[in-house]
Amino acid sequence: MCGIAGIATLDGSPARERVKAMCDSILHRGPDGEGIFVAPGVGLGMRRLAIIDLNTGDQPVTNTSGTIIVVFNGEIYNYRELRQDLIDKGHSFRSSGDSEVIPHLYEEYGMDFIARMNGMFAIALWDSRERRLLLTRDRAGIKPLYYSLRNGTLFFGSEVKAILVAGGSNREINPRGVDQLLTFEYTASPTTLFRDVHKLPAGGWLVWTKGDLQQGRFWSLPKSVTMLDESEEAIAERVRTTVTAAVRRQLVSDVPIGAFLSGGIDSSIMVAAMSEVSPTPPMTFSVGFGEASYSEVEYARVVAAHCGTQHHEEILSPDYLSILPEVVSQLDQPIADFSVFPTLLVARMARRRVTVALGGDGGDELFAGYDAYQADRYAHAALDWLPRSLRQALDKCAQLTPLGRDKRGVVNQLRRFLEGAALPSRWQHMRWMVFLSNRGREQLYSPEFQAAVAGQTGEIISEMLDGGSASRLDDQMRCDLRFYLPEDILAKVDMMSMASSLEARVPYLDNEVIDLALTIPAHLKVRGGVRKYILKKAFKDRLPASILGRGKEGFSMPMKNWLNQEWNGLMHDLLCADNLRADGLFDAAAVQRLMREHEARKQNHSHLLWGLMVFQLWKQRFQSCTT
């Protein structure tokens, strides 16, 4: 595990100091060591967080002849099998870890090598014979990779800040990126907030050869799959054995390893599987919060006791404003998800005892765990036949009712539910994923900004909901697997865990788990109102019924309350008229109205207001000429 960065150029060799500066900017990703390779046409760098092969696992790594050079961020979980296959074909190795497998795989299989790896990775590979640089990223999008091309020179890095310190961007704001940030709370690959910096898509590859770029995908969600035609019991057994095997694979480590335990379904099942295959009681980590509706720590305690883990927890009442600069420093490609704060805090807590932590991300998208999936079923059952006049009356009542302070409340949820009912049927899944409507955009954006992004949100939503699956539910899960999971959830976890020099692994996104989940019929994922039905059935004898019967909570913070209390002054400072006029993007009066409505608790504008604040914080931190 580490961070990678580098330059490919047409003119001579990149300065070693320039590559080192890129590595220094991502020191937190790898405090245990540094490796730099510079040769005519290329400079590769990495920062290492030592996990496997502590003594001989340094990078860059090469093939035997030294013609293929690799820097790599992540873990290859099937590297032992790949290594043995390569040995059988005549390859020899100097180290015992996973990194050295990569150049030999490329030498043996060419571009086809990428699909043979089961892991999380971002890879930069220099083929000196062809003077070719290959960049690629794991198929689920667990590990990030950014790039820019300026006058034929390619810059890349695990974080945008590595590109900025090397002069790889002119730092011009991308209107499409700003619009996506406010609409979705993230940007969809390849878009970032800089016009000339791009995200390599999940499952994607890029090849730079003498200043020219080619791009493609080595993996994407299959357009169609053959659904399993087996008994419910047989499929449940498949799920259990496959998830458990993935957890076992991801326990490989030469340093202490633990797990994030929220008390929710996914992390609880993962810990149950971990306790089965770990040679010692696993360490688990939970954080709780002062506001009861935002804390799940009591459920985590139940799971930890049931599974016999070495459990560590903290009830936090931190000064969140004091950690805001640390959070912002990691948001060089910003997301406006509130849960960046608890994610950083639990990662920081875990890092005091372990270097690697397993998490439960991906379970909701693969096994249908989100509220949105149930809401869609209710919408069709309850609202399709309801007269439009009655829907409008319900909506009006909900809008007039004051909002509650809790994370979830009847009024809060009813408003979002009824808002979604007004969308076209095919788009109703987006009710939970869109935080800025077309009407809101017209009121908030300047005419110039509106013209710059006209129509793009509809294009993205159409791409998200591209259809073609066996069921409406499958289409919705595919949407979340392609966009929400890699662009928000996994990006957030990577940013905040690596800020703490902690490796976060995700067993649910193991290749074999993904491949299996895609073949499970939708009616086994949601049955009789029970979400994740088949996953729960698979582990029904490993966890208490009180845990398996829980609903989805999510990892969030009371931002709507903060903006009216502790964070109110910061909100007004960041969103003052002078700042907004300087951008030329937003109508200052419209923003003032949003703040007034939120402060009066007439509307919950916390998502949109925080998105605007994140943009201002990002601009102050990263648009200047220094990072």
Rounded to whole angstroms, the Cα distance separating 469 from 222 reads 9
Candidates 2, 23, 307, 479; catalytic one: 2
Distance from C-alpha of 485 to C-alpha of 500, rounded to nearest angstrom: 21
Q: How far apart are CA 3 and CA 51, in angstroms?
A: 13
Alpha carbons 300 and 260: distance in angstroms, whole number:
10
- Cα–Cα dist 25/627, whole Å: 9
Cα separation of 473 and 374, whole Å? 9
- DSSP tag of 28: G
Q: Which of 436, 502, 547 is nearest to 258 (CA)?
A: 502
CA–CA distance, 489 with 493 (Å, rounded to integer): 6
Residue with tokens 């207001």: 609
- Asked if 18 and 43 count as a contact pair (C-beta separation under 8 A), the reply is yes
Give φ, ψ of 464 to 5 degrees.
-60, -45
Give the three-state DSSP class for 590. Answer: helix
What does the DSSP assignment read for 388-423? HHHHHHHHHHHHHSPPPSSSS-HHHHHHHHHHHHTS
Query: Which amino acid appears at position 73 of this protein?
Result: N
- The encoded tokens of residue 233 equal 């019991």
Local structure of residue 110 (DSSP, 8 states): G
Taking phi over 0 as left and psi of -120 to 50 as alpha, with beta for the rest, 529 belongs to left
Active site (annotated) includes residue 2: yes
Q: What tokens appear for 460 in the block?
A: 């993205």
- Radius of gyration, CA atoms only, the chain: 24
Measured between alpha carbons, how far is 210 from 41 in angstroms, rounded to an integer?
9
Comparing CA positions, the residue from 520, 517, 504, 500 lying closest to residue 267 is: 504
Q: What residue type is 68 in one-letter code?
A: I
| Strand ranges (E), 405-482 | none
| CA 204/CA 111 separation, integer angstroms | 12
Question: Which of the residues are catalytic?
Answer: 2
